[in-house]
Chains A and B, each alone.
Chain A
């Protein structure tokens, strides 16, 4: 009360971050006061993760300044960030499973005298930290790998506290917690802020932001679109409008009118995967594109992978045409004519050092072969034909696929299933890592595939992409389908509302 206008603890001004071929941040401003919970809002791809990594010293900004206590600083390494008092709790738990709780908390800043660890002191301090976090029941000697996700989160938080941090960045800390644990998290956050620590809090859950946040900064397409909005006085509708107003133009191909007489190609009935999603039922007709919209962790990607047999369904059936698929068998799915373009193209889809044509024929080289003998000429010809029809650049199919851009690698994935001639195409984040120009091409290509009679299912965390590309949308939240309907009867705000409200439980 004495200090009405305190000096900001942390300021970021005009932060720009360029990656080869993409500008992840394009002028971000952020101002964090001591003792406040500053919420960072933005859709996937808005630049939140990049911003966090810059603060944590994992990335260097291309331009802009970071000030701590009003002094410009450069954060070159994670250690530098910690010594400035900035600690980060990542969304992905970053604990070492084989080490004990105490060892994890003091990892990288071990308490030691001449290289010999002061283990008793580390255990004692760990006990204090855990008590402060309301988890005195955790033993400092427990191996972290044996703990639940929520308890691992507590360890991660204790580690941030052990650095005497002045700013703690929490990236979706509630994602792995149940509601009791979330209340406990809030209690700890309030204690920390009362002691003058600032929290940068990232969450999609409006309810949490209302419960604990002080001010909000909204990011969109790598820019700050609104800064320092008071939580108490800003309606949710305004926030959603700020998050969704677009500067990137999407160019979607026109969809032909739906043909109710087209045969059902894919029939998913009561599909479930234990602990992830349940009661998922939908049909896709030939020529139709169905989109799945939902947050990360809602189960949308798992639904695709289960249909494909890459995960074994705990209940329900998948039928392609007249063929009912054996659960958990990718071979059966591919044979029945399903193709999957996975979310992580490089780690799940491609043989990066192999030539383009071999990547295109990875599912079909056996079909070209004659009694086990490869027919590389036929493979190359078929790959070349698809490469030309998809306008794959550069044009040669003999180069290693590693040398292609993200968009062209994605085209090669689609070419794989075109050569296969599949009837059902499952696309998980088809435009991730694809630049804006190539996106329009991918969209047109997907529509062309549907027009040629394929049934297409698209998962995307970008809601406009789902709505623009698909004929029908299924909104997925917390492992359930909460809405099904034509995409021309619902807008981005309504979908975002559903996924955020549904996740507030």
Chain B
């Protein structure tokens, strides 16, 4: 009995106070999405201030802001899909190539002829199917074939790009389906339609990650796959679906690419996977899995798009821009690690 006396709980008031403190602490150190996002917003504001200081109204004009957001849109959609994969502890290097493949497949003569008859839905359906199909192949290889995600998606990166070249025979395939152009090109309520698509995908992604069983499973699989498996979650099936989701995002991004450039090309989306991964990581999603934030990803994408715009506005070398990007990625990851270790210690 003596141990019970020794371990007697503190007086009720004291205990309540301690618990409240712990709760407050835990809110800021673990579920600290709020504080992290504030950091990203500050970074974005700083970039805007620099932009205004160096380029004045040329930077701060509504037109230019529209340019920034529409630059961000395509990478943005890829990044939303990537957020899910990375939250679950995976990686998808193939999304840029799959975008290219989908853009080519949706603009072949055969597809466009059918689209001429049945409408734009044929092209969109084709792009999405190609994306989901490639994603499913990744997912099956990784979940059931036990191939490391890095390798499986690296193979898909190479193979999808090659297949796109075969189909397009290295030619640029112009979009000449009027219904497609009228549906996806141009503005709606003064905002480019591809920006609307990005916004819709971001909202849907946020909802899926934070409000559905699919999102909960994603976090569980990334946080502790063994615990998830032993709790009865179908980890393999879910992993497969996550890569299919990333493929779907690549298909949507391909449609946006067609709307923006007006052509399918096997070079579409080159190196986009790296920009998407960078945006996700800078946004605060843990590369080891278990924590993901859609809002952070969107902010990460906007930060990189603003940075690009700043350099363009000031006629600076794009090589310098790459160096700056690299520095931002490292800074973000270092901050993230400090954050994690502090959280773990507490």
The digit string for B1-25, where 1 denotes a CB below 8 A from any CB of A, is 0011001010000010011001100
Give the residues in chain B near A416, CB-CB below 8 Å: 231
Which positions 397-418 of chain A face chain B at CB distance < 8 Å? 398-400, 402-403, 416
Q: A403-B22, A437-B4 are in contact. Are A374 and B212 (CB under 8 A)?
A: yes
Residue of B nearest to A366 (CB): B213
Indicate which residue in B216, B223, B346 contacts A403 across the interface (CB closer than 8 Å). B346
Chain A residue contacts of B31, Cβ below 8 A:
355, 400
In the complex with contacts A365-B213, A373-B212, A374-B216, A351-B227 CB distance below 8 A: yes
Instruction: Check B343 for interface membership: any CB of A closer than 8 A.
Output: yes
In the complex, the chain B residue whose C-beta lies closest to that of A344 is B226
The answer to whether B291 and A362 touch across the interface, beta carbons within 8 angstroms, is: no
CA–CA, A374 and B211, complex, Å: 5
Q: Are A403 and B26 in contact (CB under 8 A)?
A: yes
**When each residue 351-380 of chain A gets 1 if its CB lies under 8 Å from chain B and 0 otherwise, what string results?**
111110010001101100100111000000
B144 within 8 A of A: no
**B230 and A349 form a contact (CB under 8 A):** yes
Max count, chain A CB within 10 A of own CB: residue among B224, B227, B291: B227
Is there a chain B Cβ closer than 8 Å to A486's Cβ? no
B228 CB within 8 Å of chain A: yes
A247 / chain B contacts, CB cutoff of 8 Å: none
From B223, B224, B233, name the one whose CB has the most chain A CB atoms within 10 angstroms: B224
Contact A334 B234 (CB under 8 A): no
By beta carbon, the residue of chain B nearest A393 is B9
Interface residues of B in 214-232 (CB under 8 A from A): 214-216, 219-220, 223-224, 226-232
Of A335, A372, A398, which contacts B213 at CB under 8 A? A372
Q: Which residues of B contact A245 (CB under 8 A)?
A: none
Q: Max chain A CB contacts within 10 Å: which of B216, B232, B343?
A: B232
Among residues of A, the one whose C-beta sits closest to the C-beta of B291 is: A353
Contacts of B4 on A, CB cut-off 8 Å?
437
A485 within 8 A of B: no
A350 CB within 8 Å of chain B: yes
B315 → A minimal CB distance (Å) = 45
Interface residues of B in 226-254 (CB under 8 A from A): 226-234
Q: How far is the CA of A394 from the CA of B10 in the complex (A)?
A: 12
- B338 is an interface residue with CB less than 8 A from chain A: no
- Over the window 313-346 of chain B, the binary record of Cβ atoms lying under 8 Å from chain A Cβ atoms (1 yes, 0 no) is 0000000000000000000000000000001101
Please determine whether A353 and B290 come into contact, CB atoms closer than 8 angstroms: yes
Give chain B nearest CB distance to A308 CB in angstroms.
8
**In whole angstroms, how far apart are the Cα atoms of A437 and B31 in the complex?**
31
Instruction: Name which residue of chain A comes closest to B207, CB basis.
Output: A373
Knowing A330-B232, A351-B227 are in contact, say whether A399-B26 is a contact too (CB < 8 A): yes
A351 pairs with B230, CB closer than 8 A: no
Q: Are A347 and B226 in contact (CB under 8 A)?
A: yes
Measured between C-beta atoms, what is the minimum distance from A267 to chain B in Å?
Answer: 21
Cα A416 to Cα B232 in complex, Å, equals 12
- Please tell me if B118 contacts chain A, counting CB pairs below 8 Å: no
Is A195 part of the contact surface with B, judged by Cβ < 8 Å?
no
A437-B226 in contact (CB<8A)? no
Interface size of B by CB at 8 A reads 37
A-contact 0/1 string along B137-181, CB 8 Å cutoff: 000000000000000000000000000000000000000000000
Hey, which chain A residues are within 8 Å of B30, CB to CB? 353, 400, 402
Q: A351-B223, A351-B224, A398-B23 are in contact. Are A334 and B231 (CB under 8 A)?
A: yes
Q: Who on chain B is nearest to A362 by CB?
A: B231
Complex formed: what's the CA distance from A403 to B30 in Å?
11
The reply on A395 being an interface residue by CB < 8 A is yes
Q: A351 is contacted by which of B3, B213, B219, B346 (Cβ under 8 Å)?
A: B219
Task: Please give, as numbers and ranges, the residues of chain A lying within 8 Å of B9 by CB-CB distance.
Answer: 393
A416 shortest CB reach to chain B, Å = 7
With a CB–CB cut-off of 8 A, which chain B residues contact A362? Answer: 220, 227-228, 231, 233
Chain B residues near A72 (CB, 8 Å)?
none
A-side contacts of B233, CB under 8 Å: 362-363
Known contacts A351-B290, A353-B290; is-contact A330 B229 (Cβ 8 Å) = yes
Q: Taking the nearest CB of chain A, how far is it from the CB of B262, in angstroms?
A: 37
- B234 to chain A: which residues have CB within 8 Å? 331
Tell me how far the C-beta of B291 lies from the nearest C-beta in chain A, rounded to whole angstroms: 7
Nearest A-chain residue to B234, judged by Cβ: A331
A340 interface residue (CB < 8 Å to B): yes
Q: Tell me which of A334, A353, A354, A400 contacts B232 (CB under 8 A).
A: A334
Q: Cα distance A393–B18 when bound, in Å?
A: 12
* A18–B183 alpha-carbon span in the complex (Å): 70
Could you tell me the distance between the alpha carbons of A393 and B231 in the complex, rounded to whole angstroms?
A: 23
Q: Are B3 and A437 in contact (CB under 8 A)?
A: yes
Taking the closest CB of chain A, its distance from the CB of B239, in whole angstroms, is 15
Residues 320-345 of A at the B interface (beta carbon under 8 Å): 330-331, 333-335, 340, 342
Q: With a CB–CB cut-off of 8 A, which chain B residues contact A340?
A: 230
Are the CB atoms of A331 and B232 closer together than 8 Å? Answer: yes
Is A258 an interface residue, CB under 8 A from the partner?
no
How close is A225's CB to chain B, nearest CB, in angstroms? 21
Please measure, in the bound complex, the distance between the C-alpha atom of A396 and the C-alpha atom of B19, giving whole angstroms: 8
Chain A residue at minimum C-beta to C-beta distance from B227: A349
A403→B31 CA distance, assembly (Å): 13
> CA of A115 to CA of B168 in the docked complex: distance in angstroms?
54
Separation of A465 and B185 alpha carbons in the complex (Å): 72
CA distance A349 to B233 in the complex (A): 12
Proximity string of chain A (74-101) to chain B, C-beta cutoff 8 Å, 1 when within and 0 when not: 0000000000000000000000000000
Contact B19 A365 (CB under 8 A): no
A194 at the interface (CB under 8 A from B): no
Q: How far is the CA of A400 from the CA of B137 in the complex (A)?
A: 36
Q: Tell me if A348 is interfacial: C-beta within 8 Å of chain B.
A: yes
Are B214 and A372 in contact, with the CB atoms below 8 A? yes
| Nearest 7 pairs of A and B residues by beta carbon | A334-B232, A351-B223, A362-B231, A363-B231, A400-B30, A399-B26, A394-B19
Given A372-B212, A394-B22, 4 more contacts at CB 8 Å?
A310-B229, A334-B232, A349-B227, A351-B220
* 24 A–B contacts, CB within 8 A, in A order: A310-B230, A330-B229, A331-B234, A335-B232, A347-B226, A347-B227, A351-B219, A353-B30, A353-B291, A353-B343, A354-B219, A362-B228, A369-B212, A369-B213, A372-B212, A373-B213, A374-B215, A394-B18, A396-B19, A398-B26, A402-B344, A403-B26, A403-B346, A437-B7
